[in-house]
């Protein structure tokens, strides 16, 4: 493939799971789409058989308290999009329509790995349209209590990538203070972040259950912590899985910029709200960013397609 050009999927692929908050079954189908389409959620099975398209963009964010939600609360919305968005951005996929038959994306195992497995079933296709990137020109910073995040230019000659520096600090001996720095590439995302699961303390989850939330949360899709131990029999996937998952969430949230970012992201004790606020701060200042064409380099491994896409058969479900 030629990097620097937009991508989509070779075929469509479906997954089934449960919503982490509703606890109800939900299915999604990832469809190839045209160049310059972006990531679009197609919400189906609405009242009176209606459907609604929702662009995956920070302008459309309506809630960030427990997860990232896009849409319009009075018409249609899609929640818990961050792990899927992280998989798409992490693998460098620009254009996909995500058909979803419920109000939230299935949680699967609490990471991005099942989405990557589904994408690998069908492969990634290169389109004949240049990729546009958002280059950070000057620092922007947001703060919320002790949490903060910032986007800055990445001062490296000829740099066209994105570096992440994420730190967390929990008052728990099971987590404590963890920091990780990563240059975001497809290989690094697969290896270092994709399998990191969401996590929570049992006492907090029990409070959410009382409010009718997190009804689908279980040891199959979350790392559960008591006061003094991790309850999952298999333990952790990475020694610092907690900070890696926070970084994975940030990849998904920042993908709502609408195009890949060039620069450096740093955060301390951040979360969905702070990630969203960082995008708001960036785009509120026209002098802080600019759009540029991605450089073209010849690589190998993906098919090339014209801007027109043929209809494709459903791939096997991935559960």
**Catalytic sites, residue numbers:** 272
Cβ atoms of 179 and 167 closer than 8 Å: yes
Q: How many helices (H) and strands (E) does the chain have?
A: 6, 22
By C-alpha distance, which of 177, 174, 136, 176 is closest to 154? 136
Strand, helix or coil at 8?
strand
Instruction: For residue 21, say whether it is annotated as part of any ligand binding site.
Output: no
| Residue at token pair 């066209």 | 160
Strand, helix or coil at 273?
helix
Calpha distance 25→106 (Å, rounded): 8
Phi, psi of 277 (to 5 degrees): -60, -35
Which strands, in side-by-side order, build the sheet including 61-63? 61-63, 69-72, 76-78
Calpha distance 153→308 (Å, rounded): 36
Beta strand spans in 90-154 (E): 96-100, 124-130, 132-136, 140-144, 147-152
Instruction: For residue 83, say whether it is annotated as part of any ligand binding site.
Output: yes
Instruction: For residue 31, say whether it is annotated as part of any ligand binding site.
Output: no
Calpha distance 257→134 (Å, rounded): 8
By C-alpha distance, which of 48, 44, 43, 47 is closest to 60? 43
Q: Residues annotated as binding site for Zn(2+)?
A: 83, 245, 249
């Amino acid at each position: 493939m030629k990097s620097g050009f937009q991508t989509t999927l070779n075929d469509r692929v479906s997954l089934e799971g449960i919503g982490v908050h509703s606890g109800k079954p939900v299915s999604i189908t990832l469809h190839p789409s045209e160049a310059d389409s972006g990531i679009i959620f197609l919400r189906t099975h609405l009242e009176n058989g209606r459907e609604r398209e929702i662009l995956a963009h920070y302008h459309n964010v309506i809630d960030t308290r427990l997860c990232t939600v896009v849409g319009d609360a009075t018409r249609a919305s899609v929640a818990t999009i961050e792990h899927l968005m992280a998989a798409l951005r992490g693998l460098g996929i620009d254009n996909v329509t995500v058909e979803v038959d419920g109000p939230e994306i299935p949680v699967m195992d609490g990471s991005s790995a099942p989405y990557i497995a589904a994408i690998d079933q069908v492969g990634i296709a290169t389109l004949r349209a240049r990729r546009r990137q958002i280059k950070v020109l000057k620092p922007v910073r947001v703060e919320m209590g002790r949490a903060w995040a910032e986007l800055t230019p990445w001062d490296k000659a000829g740099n066209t990538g994105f570096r992440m520096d994420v730190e967390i600090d929990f008052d728990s001996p099971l987590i404590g203070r963890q920091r990780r720095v990563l240059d975001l590439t497809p290989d690094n995302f697969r290896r270092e972040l994709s399998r990191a699961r969401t996590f929570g303390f049992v006492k907090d989850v029990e409070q959410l259950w009382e409010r009718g939330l997190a009804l689908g949360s279980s040891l199959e899709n979350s790392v559960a912590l008591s006061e003094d131990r991790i309850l999952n029999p298999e333990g952790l996937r990475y020694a610092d899985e907690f900070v890696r998952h926070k970084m994975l969430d940030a990849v998904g949230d920042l993908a709502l910029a609408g195009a890949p970012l060039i620069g450096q992201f740093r955060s301390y004790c951040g979360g969905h709200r702070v990630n969203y606020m960082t995008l708001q701060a960036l785009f509120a200042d026209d002098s802080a960013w600019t759009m540029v064409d991605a450089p073209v380099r010849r690589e190998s491994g993906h098919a090339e397609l014209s801007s027109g896409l043929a209809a494709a058969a459903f791939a096997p479900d991935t559960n």
